């Protein structure tokens, strides 16, 4: 009944679908945690209640995003065991400890201080509460560190040997963790998390400013978001360029697919748009800038670049998908830079909060960071095919012995359940975004007793009895 895809493709689509949902939430969790830390630090330093009001607005969003990130991530662990058991067996001696470090060092750190951060503002001192917020923010980044170490090793494996059972084993853990692509991938992803959060905050803030230009909290949110766009977008472009040069060195076939280079040669043009035709090995309707690809990638307008023809055709990834996902990511990055520069011009003219078209653009750009992250991950993961461990373990050899109808049925079930569950979560987030930041913004409600008289718990005091910090 369910035989739409073969077992390998169905298993790949199932994992791709779940990780596409998952990656959104950890990225926003990282950015929001650091944003909340900055807001609370500014409140403690200046004593201005407006920072506290904005903190209270976004802490609720963070709680929902963090929860959905944890839930969506757990599912992938089970998928690795059920659909990718050969991969788990062969890479387990290396990837198992790295994933264990992520759980022990990061998740427990985040979870241990998360309760204090969410519910402790009226129960612990300001210093301790701020420390808890710092620990959660640091924990999110540590979690990203280990996850990206895992993924980077799969992209550019280093520091390993192979035992008699055919398993990858670590010979140098420093080389395993700090493999050739890890520093670039880590910086690129952290900046992406900050930018995606900045444009989400900026979009929500712009929407409220358009509705009420006297809303001081929304204006503060918008100003901070535009500062982040102006400062981080150029850094991200530079980091992305360095990451591309690293990819050229260690994954030249992936880079050739990203750029649509079918033929090796010198003075290679940069294809801006077009449709790659794998059969004819050409790009139809190509709009290109002569010699620009060689100039960017080799710093020589006549520099040599290896094309896809330098590699066996059976090893090529899905060229059209990699080609276009890369351009979506780069295009959004350039749009972010333009919005940042636009906001700087409006700020110089003292028209930041009256720039209607800038604010409308910010509303439209609210999901742009998330789309860019998804496009970047498609480029990274599809570009690695047909390998799970680049150049060493083919995807077809890493999959479990699977029955195609069963995997297709579970894929359909995942699609239905995920859209219902996480669709509801996203709908709730939009309801939170519609809520106007105001002077009466409160902490997350605490439905537990604040004190007890004898053995009888007394109901926690309602908001009207809770004093402002």
**Whether pLDDT at 207 is above 90:** yes
Q: Is residue 316 part of a domain?
A: yes
Is the per-residue pLDDT at 456 higher than 80? no
Look over the chain and give the mean of its residue pLDDT values, rounded to a whole number: 87
Would you say residue 20 lies in a domain? no
The pLDDT score that the predictor gives to residue 297 is 87
Q: In whole angstroms, what is the distance from residue 35 CA to residue 62 CA?
A: 10
Q: Is the pLDDT of residue 418 over 90?
A: no
pLDDT interval class at 408 (50, 70, 90): confident
Percentage, residues of the chain above pLDDT 70 = 93
Q: How far apart are CA 261 and CA 217, in angstroms?
A: 49
Residues with Cβ within 8 Å of residue 124, at least 6 apart in sequence: 116, 132
419 SS3 class: helix
| Arithmetic mean of pLDDT, 418-447 | 75
Which residues does 422 contact at the CB level (< 8 Å), separation at least 6?
21, 68, 72
Name the pLDDT band for 237 (thresholds 50, 70, 90): very high
| Residues in contact with 40: Cβ distance below 8 Å, sequence separation at least 6, in sequence order | 51, 52, 55, 129, 130, 133
pLDDT bucket at 17, cuts 50 / 70 / 90: confident
Q: What is the pTM of this model?
A: 0.88
pLDDT tens per residue, range 23-42: 888 899 999 999 999 999 99
- pLDDT score of 451 more than 70: no
State the pLDDT at residue 449.
45
Q: What is the CA radius of gyration of the chain?
A: 24
At CA 261, angle to CA 255 and CA 262, rounded to 5? Answer: 125
Q: Distances in Å between the alpha carbon of 53 and those of 59, 296, 312, 436?
A: 10, 46, 58, 11
Are 62 and 380 a contacting pair, CB within 8 Å?
no
Strand partners, 389: 393
237 domain residue, yes or no: yes
Span 248-265, mean pLDDT? 92
Q: How many domains does the structure of the chain reveal?
A: 1
pLDDT band at 440 (very low <50, low <70, confident <90, very high): low
pLDDT exceeds cutoff 60 at 454: no
Residue 381 in domain: yes
pLDDT band at 3 (very low <50, low <70, confident <90, very high): low
Q: Diameter of the chain by CA atoms?
A: 84
Give domain status of residue 334, yes or no.
Answer: yes
Average pLDDT over residues 111-129: 85
pLDDT at res. 459: 41
Weakest-pLDDT range from 130-144, 266-280, 331-345, 425-439: 425-439
In this prediction, residues 393-411 reach a mean pLDDT of 86
pLDDT at 76 (0 to 100): 82
Q: Which of 159-168, 344-353, 459-468 has the lowest mean pLDDT?
A: 459-468
Q: Is the Cα dihedral 229, 231, 235, 237 positive or negative?
A: positive
The mean per-residue pLDDT over the stretch 107-113 comes to 77
d(CA 202, CA 223): 8
Per residue in 62-92, pLDDT tens? Answer: 999 988 888 888 888 888 888 888 999 999 9
Closest CA to 316 of 284, 278, 283: 278
pLDDT of residue 439: 53
For residues 20-32, one letter each, b for 16 or more C-beta atoms within 10 angstroms of the residue's C-beta and e for the rest, the string is bbbbbbbbbbbbb
Segment of 68-77, 98-107, 143-152, 297-306 carrying the highest mean pLDDT: 143-152
Residue 406 has pLDDT above 50, yes or no: yes
Q: Please check whether residue 259 is in contact with residue 245, taking contact to mean a CB–CB distance below 8 angstroms.
A: no
Task: Find out whether 123 and 97 touch, Cβ atoms under 8 Å.
Answer: no
**Alpha-carbon torsion angle 223, 137, 437, 201, nearest 10:** 50
CA triple 57-63-65, angle to 5 deg: 105
Mean pLDDT of 3-16: 83
Whether residue 314 is predicted with pLDDT greater than 70 in this model: the reply is yes
pLDDT-based confidence at residue 467 (cuts at 50, 70, 90): very low
Q: What integer pLDDT is reported at residue 34 of this predicted model?
A: 95
Mean pLDDT of all residues in 361-369: 94
Q: How large is the average pLDDT for residues 430-450?
A: 64
Query: How far apart, in whole angstroms, are the C-alpha atoms of residue 21 and residue 425?
Result: 12
Burial track 415-449 (b if 16+ CB lie within 10 A, e otherwise): eeebeeebeebbeebeeebeeebeeebebeebeee
**Residue 234, in any domain of the structure:** yes
Higher pLDDT: 186 or 80? It is 186
Q: Residue 402 — very low, low, confident or very high, per pLDDT cuts 50/70/90? A: confident
pLDDT bin (cut points 50, 70, 90) of residue 469 is very low
Domain of 195, in residue numbers:
191-399
How much is the average pLDDT of 357-373? 94
Answer yes or no: are the C-beta atoms of 192 and 373 closer than 8 Å. Answer: yes
Is residue 365 in some structural domain? yes
- The tens digit of pLDDT for each residue in 139-153 reads 889 989 999 999 999
Least confident of 44-48, 70-74, 105-109, 304-308: 105-109
Q: Is residue 458 situated within a structural domain?
A: no
Predicted pLDDT of residue 436? 84
């Amino acid at each position: 009944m369910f035989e739409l895809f073969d077992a390998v493709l169905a298993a790949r689509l199932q994992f791709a679908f779940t990780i596409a949902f998952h990656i959104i939430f950890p990225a926003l969790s990282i950015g929001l945690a650091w944003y909340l830390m900055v807001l609370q630090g500014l409140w403690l330093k200046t004593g201005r209640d407006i920072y506290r009001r904005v903190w209270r607005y976004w802490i609720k969003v963070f709680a929902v995003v963090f929860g959905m990130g944890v839930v969506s991530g757990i599912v992938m662990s089970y998928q690795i065991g059920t659909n990718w058991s050969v991969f788990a067996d062969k890479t387990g001696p290396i990837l198992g400890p790295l994933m264990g470090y992520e759980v022990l060092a990061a998740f427990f750190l985040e979870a241990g201080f998360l309760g204090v951060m969410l519910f402790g503002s009226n129960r612990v001192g300001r210093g301790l509460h701020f420390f808890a917020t710092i620990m959660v923010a640091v924990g999110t980044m540590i979690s990203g560190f280990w996850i990206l170490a895992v993924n980077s090793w799969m992209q550019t494996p280093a520091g390993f040997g192979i035992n008699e059972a055919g398993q990858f084993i670590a010979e140098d853990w420093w080389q395993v963790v700090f493999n050739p692509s890890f520093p670039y991938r880590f910086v690129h992803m952290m900046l992406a998390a900050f930018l995606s959060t900045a444009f989400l905050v900026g979009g929500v803030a712009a929407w409220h400013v358009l509705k009420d230009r006297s809303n001081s909290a929304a204006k503060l949110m918008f100003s901070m978001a535009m500062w982040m766009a102006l400062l981080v977008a150029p850094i991200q472009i530079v980091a992305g360029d360095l990451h591309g040069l690293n990819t050229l060195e260690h994954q030249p076939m992936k880079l050739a697919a990203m750029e649509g280079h079918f033929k090796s040669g010198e003075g290679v043009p940069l294809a801006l748009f077009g449709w790659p035709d794998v059969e004819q090995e050409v790009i139809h309707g190509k709009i290109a800038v002569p010699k620009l690809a060689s100039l960017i990638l080799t710093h020589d307008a006549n520099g040599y670049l290896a094309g896809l023809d330098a590699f066996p055709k059976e090893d090529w990834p899905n060229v059209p998908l990699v080609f276009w996902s890369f351009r979506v990511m780069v295009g959004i990055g350039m749009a972010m830079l333009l919005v940042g520069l636009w906001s700087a011009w409006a700020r110089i003219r003292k028209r930041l909060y009256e720039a209607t078209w800038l604010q409308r653009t910010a509303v439209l750009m609210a999901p742009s960071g998330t789309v860019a992250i998804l496009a970047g991950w498609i480029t990274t993961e599809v570009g690695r095919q047909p390998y799970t461990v680049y150049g060493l373990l083919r995807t077809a050899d890493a999959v479990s012995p699977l029955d195609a109808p069963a995997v297709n049925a579970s894929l359909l079930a995942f699609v239905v359940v995920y859209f219902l569950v996480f669709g509801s979560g996203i709908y709730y987030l939009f309801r939170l975004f519609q809520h106007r930041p105001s002077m009466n913004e409160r902490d997350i409600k605490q439905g537990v007793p604040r004190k007890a008289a004898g053995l009888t718990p007394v109901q926690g005091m309602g908001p009207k009895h809770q004093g402002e910090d």
